[in-house]
Amino acid sequence: MTHGGACLRRLPRIAAVLSLLALGACSRAVFDPAGDIAREQRDIILFSTALMLLIIVPVIVLIVVFAWRYRQGRGGTYDPSFHHSTPLELAIWSAPLLIIIALGALTWSSTHLLDPFRRISVPAKAGAGGDAAPLVIQVVSLDWKWLFIYPAQGVATVNELVLPVDREVRFDITSSNMMNTFYSPTLAGMVYAMPGMESQLHAVLRRTGEFDGYSANYSGAGFSDMHFVLKGVDDAGFARWLAQTKSAGGDLALTNLKTLLQPSERVPITRYAHVDGDVYRRLLERCVDATSRCLSDVMRQDMAPGHLMPPTHESEPANATPGRAAAPDTGTSRPQGPKEAPPAGAPPEQHDGHE
């Protein structure tokens, strides 16, 4: 056996080792879901990949086969008069068309099925009737940290998200300043957090453990360390965590909210035992500062009867009287200046009778 033949026999083993090393550097979070939404998304990825491989693999194989069969001086046939083959055309066009139809149907159905605003049906646990009420958590992306508010429980955390397993959770998501993306690969997909706007995400966690969460949208210098810990616990563990937070946490009020809003990096986990009930609304409506007007107040004033909306939203028209609407301009009261005489030899001015 020659040295070259031995090397060729080792190539599959070397390729397998290199592939394992490459895959070892990848995160398995997307393919190791802990929630229903993440599991559905994983299945969509696998199904879509399998459909596309139905075209990619045969094409790659045929490239090798054709190159070998029709190589110079070896085998194959050559027909200079060939120009069309119905079976070949059907094979070339029908297979990709069927795959595109299947991918389109999958995309359409999954778009509605995985709508983040859509509730998830989670059967109530023993002793309760009907579906359990979702746990509401208000999510605010700050520079560069995550604030989680539990309004019903009256607590809040920074960079720590604790969820009871087998219970539907509704996330109300916004941002204080920069656009970010709320993302925990093992829980659900990415949802944008935008200032002055609120989005939602319904999800459910199915097993206990600690998982990673982060922002998937670049938002400045501290973006790389904008991570949070997702902890899945049972009902007893969630009750213990609430008790610990209420006994050892601080106080998150409007008076100290400005300090939290300051840009900071690598912020450790922080817990608040008491949260002002107006914190999330003011963050959403961008009126944390007492001198700022909340968006709902501005909209309410704009919709009030008799309110004059300035054209530029900054100042009233120059001819408007305070408290009164400006009279519409009909074009009949404009002063008419003297008309210039037409140049010599010009045709007479035409009138259409509508002046």
How far is 266 from 306, CA to CA, in rounded Å?
Answer: 51
CATH topology of domain 135-284: Immunoglobulin-like (2.60.40)
99 within 8 A of 58, measured Cβ to Cβ = no
Name every residue whose Cβ is closer than 8 Å to that of residue 163 and which is 6 or more positions away in sequence.
Answer: 135, 169, 187, 205, 230, 231, 232, 233, 238
DSSP secondary structure letter of residue 9? H
How far is 1 from 20, CA to CA, in rounded Å?
Answer: 29
Q: Which residues pair with residue 160 across a beta bridge?
A: 229
**Phi, psi dihedrals of residue 138, rounded to the nearest 5°:** -95, 120
How far is 133 from 122, CA to CA, in rounded Å?
Answer: 9
Domain edges within the chain: 30-72+88-114, 135-284
DSSP string covering 96-126: HHHHHHHHHHHHHHHHHHT-TTS----BPPT
Residue 132: strand, helix, or coil: coil
**Phi, psi dihedrals of residue 309, rounded to the nearest 5°:** -85, 115
Q: Which residue has the tokens 């941002």?
A: 175
Helices 36-69 & 86-113, crossing angle to 10 degrees?
170
Q: Is the pTM of this model over 0.85?
A: no
Provide the pLDDT for residue 231.
96
Question: Residues 216, 219, 222, CA angle at the centre, nearest 5°?
Answer: 95
Q: Each residue's pLDDT tens digit in the chain (355 positions)?
A: 555 555 556 656 666 666 555 555 456 788 889 999 999 999 999 999 999 898 899 889 989 988 887 777 766 677 778 888 888 888 888 888 999 999 999 999 998 889 999 998 876 554 444 457 899 999 999 999 999 999 999 999 999 999 999 999 999 999 998 899 999 999 998 999 999 999 999 999 999 999 999 998 888 888 889 999 999 999 999 999 999 999 987 899 888 888 899 999 999 999 999 999 889 999 999 888 877 788 877 777 777 776 655 555 444 444 444 444 444 444 444 444 444 445 555 555 554 544 4
169 within 8 A of 153, measured Cβ to Cβ = no
Residue 258: strand, helix, or coil: helix
Provide the pLDDT for residue 6.
59
Q: Which of 290, 295, 298, 294 is nearest to 254 (CA)?
A: 290
Neighbours of 50 (CB within 10 A): 9
Q: Which amino acid does the sequence have at 185?
A: P
Strand (E) or helix (H) holding 282:
helix 279-284
Q: Which amino acid does the sequence have at 183?
A: Y
